[in-house]
Chain A
Amino acid sequence: MNNETVHKLADALRNHRLDAPMRIMEVCGTHTTEFFRSGVRDIFPAHLTLVDGPGCPVCVTANAYLDTAIEIGRAHGVIIATFGDMMKVPSSYSSLAEEKATGMDVRVVYSPMDALEIARHDPAREVVFVSVGFETTAPTEAATVIAARDAGIRNFSILPGNKLTVPAVEALLSLGEVHIDGFILPGHVSAIIGSEAWRPIPERFGKPCVVAGFETADLITGTLALMKMIASNDRTVANEYARVVRPGGNPTALSMMRRVFEPDDAEWRGIGVIPGSGLAVRDEFSRYDGFKKFPVTPPPVKEHPGCRCGELLRGLIAPTDCALFGAACRPERPVGPCMVSTEGPCAAFYKYGGFDR
Chain B
Amino acid sequence: MKILPGHGSGGRLMNELIEKTIRTRLGAHVQLDDAALLSIDGPIAFTTDSFTITPIFFPGGDIGALAVNGTVNDLAVMGADPRYLSCALIIEEGMEMADLERILDSMRAAADAAGVAIVTGDTKVVPRGAADRIFINTSGIGIVKKTPARREISDGDAILINGHIGDHGMAIMAARNNLSFSKGLQSDCASLKGMIGAVLERHPGSVKFMRDATRGGVASVLNEIVAGRPYGAKLREPSLPIRDAVKGVCGILGIDALYAANEGKAVMVVDNDAAESIVSVLREHPEGKDACIIGVIDGTHPGKAYLETAIGGRRILPLLTEEQLPRIC
Contacts and interface: CB of A to CB of B under 8 A. Distances in A.
Given A343-B327, A354-B316, A39 B321 contact: no
Interface string A344-357: 00000011111100
A30 interface: yes
Nearest to B251: A214
Contacts of A341: 327-328
A144 interface: no
Interface string B274-299: 00000000000000000000000000
A65 B67 CA distance: 44
Given A57-B329, A84-B326, A342-B254, A330 B321 contact: yes
Interface string A28-44: 01100000111111110
Interface in A33-86: 36-43, 57-58, 83-86
A108 B325 CA distance: 9
Contact of A354 (B177, B318, B326): B318
A355 B325 contact: no
Contacts of B42: none
Contacts of B327: 83-85, 341-343
Interface stretch (A130-138, A197-205, A283-291): A130-138
A108 B326 CA distance: 9
B199 to A, nearest CB: 32
A110 B177 contact: yes
Range class of the B interface residue count: 20 to 34
A10 interface: yes
A250 to B, nearest CB: 15
Nearest to B311: A10
A342 B311 CA distance: 23
Interface in A100-119: 108, 110
Interface string B95-134: 0000000000000000000000000000000000000000
Given A30-B329, A354-B304, A39 B313 contact: yes
Contacts, number: 102
SS of A interface (majority):
helix
Interface in B296-329: 301, 304, 306-316, 318, 321-322, 324-329
B56 interface: no
A39 B311 contact: yes
A7 interface: yes
A22 interface: no
Contacts of B326: 83-85, 108, 110
Contacts of A42: 309, 313-315
Given A36-B315, A352-B316, A355-B314, A133 B328 contact: yes
Interface residues of A, number: 45
A87 B309 contact: no
Nearest to A114: B177
A133 B322 contact: no
A169 B172 CA distance: 39
A216 interface: yes
A98 to B, nearest CB: 14
B322 A57 contact: no
Contacts of B321: 330-332
Contact of A39 (B308, B322, B324): B308
15 contacts: A3-B238, A37-B309, A38-B310, A39-B309, A39-B313, A42-B313, A42-B314, A58-B328, A87-B325, A88-B325, A110-B253, A342-B327, A351-B316, A354-B316, A355-B316
